[in-house]
A and B are shown apart, each in its own frame.
Chain A
Amino acid sequence: MTSETLCAACGFCPAAGDGERTVTGVFTGDLLSWAMGRAKEGDIWFTVMGNVNTVAVAALADCACVVLCHEAVWDEVAVQRAAQQGVTLYTTDLPEFEASFLAATRLGLTPPAP
């Protein structure tokens, strides 16, 4: 499923990029030093960190898109950088857990074994 299809189904608002990348997983977290080694290629990433550095980490990790939760606002520089680097950004009023849960459900992901 592409970012565009998934995020439209979840009601997330587009902020930058074309949304053409296919989403294959979900990553949720805010500290970029943690995200750098843990967000995976094709992930839809849920965070509240609207800084331009988030865009750089998403590009490095090759995430499908980034969704800014809890009504947080993307910094202007972040939106510009995303447009330059082809990173797709969204926003949502939902908290990170709800937004992640919604996306995981739409993607048909199953819970990890306990």
Chain B
Amino acid sequence: MNYHVNEQGFYGDFGGAFIPEMLYPNVEELRQIYGKIIATESFQNEFQQLLKDYVGRPTPLYFAERLSDKYQTKIYLKREDLCHTGAHKINNTIGQILLAKELGKTRIIAETGAGQHGVATATVCALMGLQCIVYMGEIDIQRQAPNVARMKMLGAEVRPATSGSKTLKDATNEAIRDWINNPIDTFYIIGSVVGPHPYPDLVAQFQSVISKEIQSQLLEKEGKENPDYVIACVGGGSNAAGAFYHFLENENVALIAAEAAGKGIYSGESAATSILGKTGVIHGSKTLLMQSEDGQITEPYSISAGLDYPGIGPLHAHLFASKRAEFIAITDEEAMKAGLQLCKMEGIIPAIESAHALAVLDQKQFDRNDIVVINLSGRGDKDLNTYIDYFNF
């Protein structure tokens, strides 16, 4: 089975570029050239240099001893939370800003939900001296005030998305509309493995540094490249795509995607797309998405702003449909408990998104000698208020 994108931009039945003609020239330009640019030595040199000196890579692969004792298995944490700006998101924005520069674009747009991708985009725009406009749902702007301030300090303009449900999916719609209105000078930096081909593939490629590092770090620590399990949370799915990437073809490595079940899968307040979703088209991609019987896209819910997206990337839809990855739904309660446990047992405050991946430890039985790698995609600073409200600290 092939788990990479084919010539037409599909992963199995999922993917493609379902875009209005207005976007065709931009997306086509990118499609024709992204592979060539990424493969050049000069691009790779600059990308690798920035990942090392600016982002702080490689991030540690940390053996979590106390956690391993408790669950009677070998647990490693891939510390993406130690990246500059606090999450894996910047791996991708560094890659895309270099692409934008190569294409001669002078104006950068992005969408953001919780603000992490917005901050990572504003950061690289400041680094490169490019104009930056971030679309963010009006409701998210109210919920995530510190990240809005960070983006502004970094020189970005934050534009509220006031249409629809005023959250991430609407911010994405607004960014796409901006691109339709500014087809010549503007580059759209998408934050996850979603959107029309080639975005899911190029974002996955930029994030694949995560699994590449896991391989070399495991070789050093365990004398072998491949773990038995890789666990990551999935909203759109960029950190999971990066953590799975180099293991996709090796069926001996079990891949586990933790989805947000919110207040319960069938509570009506959930983001468990693999269970609740049906095949459809969202933001230019054919994938699994949460929708009404009539094909209207519905609003998901999760306590974690980074996981409440109504779809999943087409790669993940394919991994789900082909049973290559196991999808486990984690409730708000399970995630919060697992997040707090990591604070108390390992001295690490995780992002609530990443806490969903940690919660898989309570759902699944591992053998004593299994090597389990959990992608700790981000740190919990941004979630302090949610933690405080939830546990009444």
Do A and B interact with each other, yes or no? no
Interface residues of chain B, those whose CB is within 8 Å of chain A, are: none
